[in-house]
Structure 1
Amino acid sequence: MAERLNGVIRALETGRRIAFTSFIQAEVENAVSFAQSANDGVVFEMEHTPWDIRALREAMQFLLLRQKIAQAGSVACQMTPLVRIPPSGSEMNQWFAKQALDLGAYGIVWPRISTPEEAYNAVSACRYPRLRSAPLYEPAGLRGDAPMPAARYWGVSQQEYYKRADVWPLAPDGEVLVALMIEDTTAIENLEEIVRRVPGIGVLLVGEGDLTQELGCPRQYDNPELLRMMRHVREVAQAHDIPVGHPHVTGQNVERVIEEGYRFLMTFPKRDFSALDQGRALAGR
């Protein structure tokens, strides 16, 4: 296999098979800060922020640290960019994924995937079309052909990009990660059918916040019914060898999260005001 470019997939394939990421907004300051972190990747949060493709492109460029690339002896970006796009699964909007992938994003996080049809659409949108007689035809690709910016961002030729721009783990050498957010009770009910019918799912990411809204206990992450549903997602994912993700990992729960088998860990980016608080206390304010 050629050198792995997607650092999140690399982490999921090696060692303890755990990848670390964080949600960040598509801003230069965030990219500069997180490019120097120990994360395997970042997920640019564009579901709950305006879809600003220029801001995304600029932020992705500031993830590239020439010194780290040179020291690694690899063309790969050392902080793998993924993008959470705006539409819910039921909206079937493929163009958001197409635009993010065409910039060079290494994967897409799809919000609120609830049915096998929505999951199929998500994976299809991240694949190029091929003949029905070709290997690994399903899910049939829908992505349009405009690879030049992405190939340049990855540091490969266009033909090499075509070979590697497929979804993992369906294509073992694929560098594109498709993460489906499981965020409502319909998705919980359909989960076994989703994973059985749709190959190419790279991560199942539990959407705790949306689930608690539907359950009538907003942001109450210790709710017994929520915990039961999260356990169900883990069990189904593990039975099909699909990494399962946790979106709210902190210093208080990280040990438990790892023990429970989560493999795609999203640490919470928190601003540190400890020096300010200490200074105000010393100043008598």
Structure 2
Amino acid sequence: MAAERLNGIIRAFEAGKPAFTCFAKVDKLTAQEMTDAPYDGVVFEMEHNPYDVAGLGDALQYMLNRKKIAETGSIAPSVTPIARIPANGAEMNQFQAKQVLDRGVYGVITPHVSTVEQAYNMVASCRYARPTGAALYEPKGVRGDGPATAARYWGLSMQDYYARADVWPLAPHGEILVGMMCESPEAIENLDDILANVPGIGLVLIGEGDLSQALGYPRQYEHPEVVSAMNRIVEVCHKHGVAVGNPHTNAKNVERLIGEGYKFLMSAPTRSYGVVGQGRELAGY
């Protein structure tokens, strides 16, 4: 019998369905609101909000609903928590991915990833080391070993956590989703090479705000040049079979986004449950 899929975002992707998500602040009240929300996942936002690892650990605990765990028998939160870290890809950071994963999140989104080297480091930071020549060796894992808190949060022994704490879809059994923000002309120019040469990227999330700034049309998301750039990102992601995300999903654009093949749809938290219902109906579930 196959092990229960813990990551609800990956579960949606594997079923050929879009995943509905939102950004959220790292605090207990927000986490409680997210516990019973209709989303597949929640992205704890620590790029523009404070980087608060202790607060993240508390928020994750408040997302556990013991009643639902007892009713469903599932050990995972109903809404899958992942985190966006503050360090840009060019900073070649590793410790922030390690720390949020050690708290128990099921994925990491890194902003401003623009090159193959940056993308490789992003994925490597989410993987444990393994012997040279081992299966799925690349990208070579550099995540430091400290799994106790995460294993406890996932409801697994440390050995079972090791077995499942790898990046999807590189490791089909992996429960960790690695997402890169594509938000500059350089990133778009290099995206084909990135996705062709760096296995383990499960999501490309378009950064519409920064992309529109870089193109000279700040937050003019309907401007033809901005739309063209976003369409290019979608095209390259579809070519490589990688899910592409939009951070500004609403009632007016959800039908179009689903039709264009976006698989990671982010709407405003708590106020946009209707958008999620509308999107699920359009996607046929």
| Fold shared by both chains (TM-score > 0.5) | yes
Alpha-carbon distance in structure 1 between the residues aligned to 2:191 and 2:70? 43
Q: Match of 1:109?
A: 109
Other structure's SS at 1:75 match = coil
| Aligned AA (1:170) | L
Alpha-carbon distance in structure 1 between the residues aligned to 2:236 and 2:17? 18
| Aligned AA (2:4) | E
User: By how many angstroms is 1:17 displaced?
Assistant: 2.0
Deviations 1:132-176 (A, max 9, x none): 210000000000000000000000100000000000000000000
Deviations 1:2-48 (A, max 9, x none): 1101111111111x421111000101111111111110110000000
Q: Match of 1:261?
A: 261
User: By how many angstroms is 1:269 displaced?
Assistant: 2.2
Alpha-carbon distance in structure 2 between the residues aligned to 1:255 and 1:156? 39
| Aligned AA (2:193) | E
User: By how many angstroms is 1:78 displaced?
Assistant: 1.3
Map 1:47-86 to 2 at 5 A: 47-86=47-86
Alpha-carbon distance in structure 2 between the residues aligned to 1:253 and 1:270? 18
Other structure's SS at 2:3 match = coil
Once structures 1 and 2 are overlaid, which stretch shifts more, 113-122 or 66-75?
66-75
Is the Cα–Cα contact under 8 Å of residues 64 and 79 in structure 1 kept in the other structure?
no
Q: Match of 2:276?
A: none
| Aligned AA (2:14) | E
User: By how many angstroms is 1:267 displaced?
Assistant: 1.2
| Aligned AA (1:247) | P
Alpha-carbon distance in structure 2 between the residues aligned to 1:271 and 1:190? 36
Alpha-carbon distance in structure 1 between the residues aligned to 2:270 and 2:174? 32
Is the Cα–Cα contact under 8 Å of residues 179 and 203 in structure 1 kept in the other structure?
yes
Question: Normalised by the size of structure 1, how large is the TM-score?
Answer: 0.93
Deviations 1:201-256 (A, max 9, x none): 00011100000111111110001111111111111111111111011101111111
Deviations 1:160-204 (A, max 9, x none): 000000000000000000000001010000010000110000001
Is the Cα–Cα contact under 8 Å of residues 113 and 180 in structure 2 kept in the other structure?
yes
Alpha-carbon distance in structure 1 between the residues aligned to 2:153 and 2:205? 26
Map 1:26-175 to 2 at 5 A: 26-175=26-175
Q: Match of 2:181?
A: 181
User: By how many angstroms is 1:271 displaced?
Assistant: 5.0
| Aligned AA (1:218) | P
Question: Normalised by the size of structure 2, how large is the TM-score?
Answer: 0.93
User: By how many angstroms is 1:270 displaced?
Assistant: 6.0
Other structure's SS at 2:257 match = helix
Alpha-carbon distance in structure 1 between the residues aligned to 2:271 and 2:260? 27
Other structure's SS at 2:266 match = strand
Alpha-carbon distance in structure 2 between the residues aligned to 1:209 and 1:271? 21
Call closer, same or farther: CA 1:271–1:17 in 2, change over 3 Å: closer
Is the Cα–Cα contact under 8 Å of residues 47 and 87 in structure 2 kept in the other structure?
yes
Instruction: Write out the 4+ residue segments of structure 1 that deviate beyond 3 Å after TM superposition.
Output: none
- Structure 2 unaligned residues grouped into runs of 5+: 273-285
Other structure's SS at 1:22 match = strand
Call closer, same or farther: CA 1:270–1:217 in 2, change over 3 Å: farther
Q: Match of 2:277?
A: none
User: By how many angstroms is 1:71 displaced?
Assistant: 1.6
Is the Cα–Cα contact under 8 Å of residues 217 and 226 in structure 2 kept in the other structure?
no
Q: Match of 2:233?
A: 233
Other structure's SS at 1:262 match = coil
| Aligned AA (2:210) | D
Call closer, same or farther: CA 1:53–1:232 in 2, change over 3 Å: same
- Structure 1 unaligned residues grouped into runs of 5+: 273-285
Identity of aligned residues (%): 55
Q: Match of 1:279?
A: none
Is the Cα–Cα contact under 8 Å of residues 33 and 270 in structure 2 kept in the other structure?
no
| Aligned AA (1:243) | A
